[in-house]
A and B are shown apart, each in its own frame.
Chain A
Amino acid sequence: MRRLTWFNATSLTLGFAFLYIPMLIVIIYSFNESRLVTVWGGFSTKWYGELFRNEAFLDAAWVTFKVALASSIIATILGTMGAYVLVRGGRFFGRTLFSGMIYAPLVMPEVITGLSLLLLFIAIGLDRGLFTIILAHATFSMCYVSVVVSSRLVSFDKSVEEAALDLGCTPFDAFRSVTLPIIAPAVISGWLLALTLSLDDLVIASFVAGPSATTLPIKVFSSIRLGVSPEINALSTILIGLVTIGTVTASLATKRAVVRRRRAEQMAEKTA
C-alpha cells in the first residue's frame, strides 16, 4: 500500500532541492567568465585552467592522494583484522577494552582526536608531516572499516567456514578461500569509506600536519576563509563530478551483482 500523496511529493521536491541547489549553484558559477562570484559574465572554462596552473593546489592534491591511498590500505587491513577479532576472536583478555577502542573513535569529536594525536607525536618526538597524517587517518578509518566488515561477518553462515576446516583447510586457507570472498564486498566498501574519510578530513590533518605537508582540505579551508573564489568553484565541481561518477558506478555494479545472483539462484532451483 504505497501511496505517494501530495504531501510526500512536496516534501521530496523541497528536501532534495535543499540538498542539491547549493551544490548546483557552485557548479554553474564555476563556468562563470567573471571574477566576481555573484555576477554572471558569460560561459568560460578559464578557472579550470587557472586551477591546473596553481602549483600549491596541485601539490596539496598530490599529498592528499598519497595520504588517502596509504592510510586507507593500512586501515582496511587493520580494520578487517579488528572485525575478525571482534566477531570470531572468542574470549581474550581485555576484549571489552578492545571493542570500546573500536567504537569510541566513531563518536569522538575530531578536535579531540586531532589534539590527542598531536600531543602524542610531540611527546615521542615524531616530526610532523606526511607520515603522521597517514598514522592518524589509518587509526580513525580502521574503526569505520571494522564496523562495516563486522556487520557482514556477523550475518554470514559460520558453518561454511567450519566445513572448510573439517575438510582439511588450515585456518589461514579457510580465511583466504572461504571467508575473504564472502566478506569482500564489505571490505571494499570499508576501503572506499576509509579513502573518502581521509580525502575529506580537515580537522585532524590540521592538527597533525606539519608545515612540510599541506593536504587539499587544509589548502581549501585557508582559501575559503578569505571568501568565495572561482577557482574553488572549479575545484568543487571536479570533486563533485568524481564522487557522482564513483557513486553511480558503485550502485550500478551492486544492482548488476544482485540481478546476476538472482539469476544464478533461479538456475540452481531449476536444476535441483
Chain B
Amino acid sequence: MNLRRASLIVVPYLWLMALFLVPFLIVFRIALSDTALAIPPYTPTLELSEGWAGLRDMLSQLDFENFSFLASDDLYWKSYLSSVQIALISTFFCLLIGFPLAYGMSNAPEEWQPTLMLLVILPFWTSFLIRVYSLIGLLSQEGMINQFLGWIGVISEPLEILNTNIAVYIGITYTYLPFMILPIYATLIKLDRSLLEAAEDLGCSRTQAFWMITIPLSKAGIIAGCFLVFIPALGEFVIPSLLGGSQTLMIGKVLFEEFFSNRDWPVASAVAVILLLILIIPIVLYQRNEQRQMEANQ
C-alpha cells in the first residue's frame, strides 16, 4: 500500500520537477549570465569535470547585469508598459461586450440555455490561430469592413486597422471573449431572482435593482473573467505578431524576437523573469478571489 502510494506521488512529482521547475531554474540562471559568441551562446557554462570548484567558479561569475540593461534600455520598459496597457484596454472591451452577452444569456428562456452555452463554448474549442486569422481578412485595407464602409459611403479612403494597436485590441477581445462570458454567466445564472422581485416590490426601478443587486452579486464572476482575460493577454505573442504593426510593443513578442532573431538568450531569459514578476500580482489577486468565492459557496 505504502509503496503504491509513494509511486503514485513520485511519478507526477518528478515529471513536474524535471519539466517545469528545473527548466524555470535554468531560465533564471541564464538570465544572470552574459551573452557570448559560442554554443550555447552564453557564459559562464558549468564545467562538470571541474566539480565543486567549477560550480563555485560559475556562481561567482553570475550577476544582475542583464536586469540593469533591461532597466536602462527604453525598448524593454516601454514594452512592459504597453503590454499592460494593451491587456487592460482589451480586458475592458471584453467586459463591455461580455457582460451584456452573459446577462442576456441568463435572462433567456430555460430551453435556450444549452444552445446559448454551446454557442459560447464552440469558439472556445476552435483553433486560436484560425480565429485570429479570420480577423485578418476582415480588418485589412481591402477587407470586409473597409469594403462595407466604402460601399455605404461613410469613408472614401480605406481605414488602416490591420497592423495597428486597434487590431490587437480587437484580436484579444475577440479571442478571449468566452473566458469573460463563462465565469460571469456562471454567477448570473445562480443569482436568486426572488431578490430582484423583492426589490421591485419595494419600489426599486429595474435599472436600480440591476445596479444594486445584479452587479454586486455577480462581482466575483466579473473579477474572475477580467483576470482570465488579463493574465494571458499580457504575455500574448500570436495576436501582436499577426494583427499588430511594427510599432506594437508587447513583451511576449519582444521575448520571442530577442531569442530567435537576436539569439540573445540571457536577455530573453531576463525578460521572461521580469514578465513573471509582473504577473505574480494579478495571479495572487485572482487566486484570492477564487478562494473567497469557494468559501462563500460552502
Contact = CB atoms under 8 A, between A and B. Distances in A.
Q: Is the interface of A mostly helix, strand, loop or mixed?
A: helix
A85 B11 CA distance: 10
B133 A26 contact: yes
B268 to A, nearest CB: 6
Given A38-B147, A112-B272, A139-B20, A2 B100 contact: no
A44 to B, nearest CB: 18
Given A85-B8, A139-B19, A217-B127, A111 B133 contact: no
Given A5-B107, A19-B123, A38-B147, A112 B130 contact: no
A36 B54 CA distance: 62
Contacts of B15: 78, 139, 142
B149 interface: no
Contacts of B259: 115
B1 A37 contact: no
A171 B107 contact: no
Interface in A53-92: 78-79, 81-82, 84-85, 89, 92
Contacts of A247: 118, 121-122, 125
Contact of A105 (B20, B40, B174): B20
Contacts of A84: 8
Contacts of A37: 137
Interface in A87-121: 89, 92, 94, 98, 101-102, 104-105, 107-112, 115-117, 119-120
A79 B109 CA distance: 37
Contact of A15 (B101, B268, B269): B101
A203 interface: yes
B130 A240 contact: yes
A40 to B, nearest CB: 11
A149 B21 CA distance: 22
B196 interface: yes
A240 B101 CA distance: 22
Contact of B23 (A22, A117, A227, A246): A117
B235 interface: yes
Given A12-B105, A25-B138, A244-B122, A236 B133 contact: yes
Interface stretch (B24-32, B55-63, B67-75, B218-226): B24-32
Nearest to B241: A225
Nearest to B19: A139
B104 A15 contact: yes
B62 to A, nearest CB: 15
B272 A116 contact: yes
B197 interface: yes
- B9, B100, B275 interface centre (most CB from chain A within 10 Å): B9
Given A4-B107, A12-B104, A117-B19, A111 B237 contact: yes
Contact of A202 (B142, B238, B286): B238
Interface in A1-57: 1-5, 7-9, 11-12, 14-16, 18-23, 25-26, 29, 37-38
A217 B129 CA distance: 7
Contacts of B231: 107
Nearest to B181: A15
A122 B108 CA distance: 54
Nearest to B273: A112
Contacts of B268: 115
Contacts of B117: 251
Interface string B142-177: 111001000000000000000000000000001001
Nearest to B177: A19
Contacts of A196: 125
B252 interface: yes
Interface string A168-187: 00011000000000000000
B255 interface: yes
A26 B279 CA distance: 35
A108 B127 CA distance: 19
Contact of A200 (B5, B26, B128, B137): B128
Contacts of A102: 16
A244 B124 CA distance: 11
A19 B134 contact: no
Contacts of A98: 9, 12-13, 16
Contacts of B20: 101, 104-105, 139
A164 to B, nearest CB: 15
A199 interface: yes
A243 B11 CA distance: 33
A5 B135 CA distance: 31
A11 B137 contact: no
Contact of B26 (A11, A18, A29, A123): A123
B78 interface: no
B102 to A, nearest CB: 9
A102 B8 CA distance: 15
B8 A81 contact: yes
7 contacts: A12-B105, A18-B177, A25-B134, A78-B12, A115-B259, A142-B16, A224-B129
Given A15-B98, A236-B134, 13 more contacts: A7-B100, A14-B97, A15-B97, A22-B137, A89-B5, A92-B9, A101-B20, A109-B235, A120-B26, A142-B15, A225-B242, A243-B125, A255-B114
